[in-house]
């Protein structure tokens, strides 16, 4: 069996999840990987057959997605060319983690596409709605990577096709301690803003991982270093708490590790607004930004924040097995 597994490269969550999903897919046959996007910092430990620009959301430096840069860097002609060139018909299964090139290539060729992503779950009935309805954001989320079948991951399961998060084996096997620091990952903020705001809490040791910094530096109680997967995992596993955006993988891993969690959803990112609503319903504190008006909320979290218990079993192989069993039809049966 030949499988195409296509991964969204905006941010690191999709890529980190792929580290565990790819070996599960390889149990069933030959797996080719496609990565699209320009904002990821992680390198997969597998060969990648197709690398395309796709359609990336560009992080800003003031707490949100930079819509101007996102549209300015979008190359529609190249995107259409990549969709036309991708030979999805050569594969027995095409599985997309919110990846638009593979999804639209399948759509135009009448090839079934299977969504295996967090985005497949965030709009499911029964999950908390965002505080403010973003019609454009909802439209983009629903049309960005269309699929015929959907299997989702969310902070809590709500359906037979919606599962708890994929927690990387690197995280599952890591020793969990409490060295007293707080791990920070807020890629939509530049280092200057982070230094200014976090310095307002001098009693805390902050360990910041930055998309905007090429080398490690220390300013008082704040350390800022470039993103490194192993260093980030170690920092999070030995922290007291985690301050991050309202993405999916990092909050899920922080909860799994039993850490205090506070999230700041990115502006202009509807999925993060939905995630923030779901986390808030679980008891995780949410603030809209790092502005001074939220300093008291952050201070209260540092002093009295609680750990939210979760149960995230290791069932990645079982999910992949179920998808293959349901959707793989041997060629001889198609004749």
Which are the contacts of 139, defined by CB distance < 8 A and separation ≥ 6?
none
| Nearest Cα residue to 106 out of 98, 116, 119, 94 | 94
Q: What is the pLDDT of residue 331?
A: 67
Q: Write out the CATH class of domain 2-166+314-334.
A: alpha beta
Strands (E), the chain: 2-8, 30-36, 50-52, 93-97, 114-117, 149-153, 162-163, 182-185, 206-210, 217-219, 222-226, 241-245, 260-264
Same fold, 2-166+314-334 and 169-304: yes
Mean pLDDT of the chain: 89
Give CA–CA dist 267/130, Å, rounded.
12
Contact 113, 79 (CB under 8 A): no
- In total, the chain counts a number of residues equal to 335
Digit-coded pLDDT (tens) for 264-277: 998 878 899 999 99
What burial class does residue 126 get, using C-beta atoms within 10 Å of its C-beta: 0-12 exposed, 13-18 middle, 19+ buried?
A: exposed
Digit-coded pLDDT (tens) for 96-112: 999 999 999 999 999 99
Q: What is the pLDDT of residue 150?
A: 94
Digit-coded pLDDT (tens) for 175-201: 999 999 999 999 889 899 999 999 999
Report the half-sphere exposure of 286 (CA within 13 A, side-chain side).
21
Q: Quickly state the pLDDT bin for 62 (edges 50, 70, 90).
A: very low
Digit-coded pLDDT (tens) for 275-334: 999 999 999 999 999 999 999 999 999 999 999 999 999 999 999 999 999 999 886 665
Q: What is the pLDDT of residue 250?
A: 95
pTM of the model: 0.88
Q: What is the pLDDT of residue 67?
A: 45
Domain ranges of the chain: 2-166+314-334, 169-304
The dotted CATH code for 169-304 is 3.40.50.2000
State yes or no: pLDDT of 148 exceeds 90. yes
């Amino acid at each position: 069996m030949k499988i195409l597994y296509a991964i969204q490269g905006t941010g690191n969550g999709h890529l980190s999840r792929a580290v565990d999903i790819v070996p599960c897919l390889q149990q069933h046959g030959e797996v080719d990987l496609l990565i699209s996007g320009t904002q990821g910092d992680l390198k997969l430990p597998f060969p990648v057959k197709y690398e395309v620009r796709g359609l990336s959301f560009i992080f800003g430096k003031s707490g949100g997605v930079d819509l101007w840069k996102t549209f300015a860097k979008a190359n529609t002609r190249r995107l259409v060319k990549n969709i036309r060139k991708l030979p999805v018909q050569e594969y027995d299964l095409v599985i997309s983690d919110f990846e638009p090139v593979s999804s639209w290539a399948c759509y135009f060729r009448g090839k079934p596409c299977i969504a295996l992503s967090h985005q497949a779950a965030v709009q499911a009935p029964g999950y908390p709605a965002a505080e403010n309805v973003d019609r454009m954001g909802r439209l983009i989320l629903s049309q960005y990577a269309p699929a015929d079948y959907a299997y989702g991951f969310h902070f809590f399961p709500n359906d037979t096709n919606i599962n708890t998060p994929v927690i990387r084996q690197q995280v599952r096997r890591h020793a969990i301690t409490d060295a007293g620091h707080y791990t920070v990952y807020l890629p939509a903020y530049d280092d200057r803003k982070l230094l200014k705001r976090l310095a307002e809490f001098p009693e805390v040791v902050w360990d910041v991982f930055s998309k905007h910094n090429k080398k490690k530096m220390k300013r008082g109680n704040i350390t800022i270093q470039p993103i490194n997967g192993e260093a980030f995992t170690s920092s999070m596993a030995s922290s007291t708490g985690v301050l991050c955006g309202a993405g999916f993988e990092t909050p899920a891993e922080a909860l799994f590790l039993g850490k205090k969690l506070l999230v700041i959803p990115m502006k202009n990112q509807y999925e993060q607004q939905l995630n923030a609503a779901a986390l808030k319903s679980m008891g995780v504190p949410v603030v809209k930004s790092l502005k001074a008006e939220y300093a008291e909320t952050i201070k209260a979290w540092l002093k009295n924040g609680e750990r939210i218990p979760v149960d995230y079993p290791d069932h990645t192989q079982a999910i992949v097995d179920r998808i293959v069993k349901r959707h793989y039809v041997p060629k001889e049966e198609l004749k």
